[in-house]
Amino acid sequence: MDIKKTQEDRKLTIALAGRLDSNSAPQLEAELKESLVDINDLVLDFAELVYLSSAGLRVILAAQKQMNKQGRMVIVKVNETIMEIFEITGFAEILTIER
């Protein structure tokens, strides 16, 4: 998985490309841990994300919980397959998703 970060003041955009699974989730978790200090607007860009498993969902949920305390988080450009996973797991209702 590739992670691309763009920061503008306190807004951070993280674009993910590839597979977010048990193998790559720790990489995203570490990246978020390091980058979220002082951020109040987090955008996760899923345009190039082709796969998501529960290991990735765990990291997304943790990020949402943290951003609820310090600002907001939005997931953008979610494809149909990934959206289905959000729906099946009830995540569609607790995340802010812009397709």
Interface residues with other proteins (CB under 8 A) are: 19, 21-23, 51, 53-55, 57-58, 61-62, 64-65, 68, 81, 85, 88-90, 94
Could you tell me if residue 86 is left (phi over 0), alpha (psi between -120 and 50 degrees) or otherwise beta?
A: alpha
At its nearest, how many Å lie between other proteins and the CB of residue 81?
6
Which residue lies nearer to other proteins by CB, 7 or 81?
81
Which residue lies nearer to other proteins by CB, 9 or 90?
90
Which residue lies nearer to other proteins by CB, 5 or 65?
65
Query: Which residue matches tokens 């699974």?
Result: 21
Sheet with 2-8, side-by-side order of all strands:
2-8, 11-20, 41-52, 72-76, 97-98
